[in-house]
Amino acid sequence: PILFLSTSPDTHPASTFRQPTPYPSPHRAYSLHKPLRRGEARRYPSSRRASQVFVRIKSMLQRSAPLFRRSLFPSPKGYVTTLNPVLPPSTISSVLSHIPSLYSGGPHFTTGQYPDEWHYRPPFTRDDVLREICNGWKSSEAVARIVLSRNLADNVADIMGWPGAVVGQDTVIQKPAARVSDEGDGKGVSVGYHYDGTYINDNFVLPDGRGPSPGCTLWIALEDSNKEVGGLEYAVGSHLWSRDGEGGEESDFMNPGDPRAYLKRFSGGEEIEIRTPTVEAGSAILHCSDVFHGSGPNTNPSSLRTAIAIHYIHPDSVWKESVSPVPWGGNSGYIYGRYRRRGDVRPCEDHFPRVDGKGRTRWVDEWLGDGEGVWDGTHS
């Protein structure tokens, strides 16, 4: 325990009391004095000065909290790769044959529900653009069996040191090869460097002042992924970079002019190490939601570089105050704000299901059982 002193008056009686606290007090600097002599009174700092010290300490802790969140990821690179497949070949074959029809929508949304985002709608969209569906699990049982997998969630929670895992969002993505035609320029499509946290888990915090909500992404290759097909690239260790430059223009995610423009804003002028992991179909990469990543063009016309990304958030996450359930309040974006219920800070499990074995959302079990997944948890 430490000596706890009131700081409201300029002077205080010599008598004091002790109060145990689990953390260092911001008033500690004013409490460790030599003993008083009999009849001696002590001058204490003004409440204004103590308040200034407290504000500085509070500000320092708030600035360090996001870095603490990022430093908890188990690899200094900001990502790990699975050593063995996470999906069986039969599942890969089945979902690969299903995804092209999923982009056609309508009756191909087997659940009868539309996804939250739907980019690429043949025959109205050019064939050489980036194809993306967000929260495809709501529209396709085949996708849901992967995204809501008990096996995958249990392994992710174990690696991250979480008590469980909640699905914040999924992304079904294809990147067609470059083509030269009247419509295409032959350069192919790139994905601008970005980090997932700014779109997903930054909408949440941990309760009771425990800090920002941590997050991670399991990026599952449904076709072989490497440099040739525009595989995922990482700025190694960038999850530990300062975010002091945040608040300006966001990353140009979809087919940017300079894929690394956003990345350079935060690198501090330092040399950036870029790596492109080679991932076989059925294997995956697990990365921190704060690591910068992007990808170059696909130069292999026989591949669509198909992948499913599952974005997980911590199971204790609650809504950040700035995410409002009404369109005129807060900074909620056009997806997440619609799912916050008024008067409730907890994410609704109808849209953010918990998928690990310990606290698995009941309707997920009733609908899909354990889902797909054969990951043994090994990674490097």
What pLDDT is attached to residue 188?
78
Which DSSP symbol is given to 224? -
Q: Which residues contact 326 (CB under 8 A, 6 or more apart)?
A: 337, 342
What pLDDT is attached to residue 206?
95
Q: Which residues contact 287 (CB under 8 A, 6 or more apart)?
A: 78, 79, 80, 196, 216, 217, 219, 234, 293
What pLDDT is attached to residue 28?
37
What pLDDT is attached to residue 12?
37
Calculate the alpha carbon distances from 270 to 79, 265, 288, 291 in Å.
20, 11, 21, 16
Beta strand 215-221 with 191-194 is unpaired
What pLDDT is attached to residue 262?
82
What pLDDT is attached to residue 289?
94
Cα–Cα distance, 275 to 236 (Å, whole number) = 7
What pLDDT is attached to residue 9?
38
CA 191, 193, 194, 195 dihedral sign is positive
Residues of the chain short of pLDDT 70, as ranges, are 1-71, 179-186, 244-257, 325-334
pLDDT in tens, 75-99: 999 999 999 999 999 999 999 999 9
What pLDDT is attached to residue 19?
36
Cis amide bond preceding 123, omega within 30: yes
What pLDDT is attached to residue 325?
64
Q: Which pTM does this prediction carry?
A: 0.79
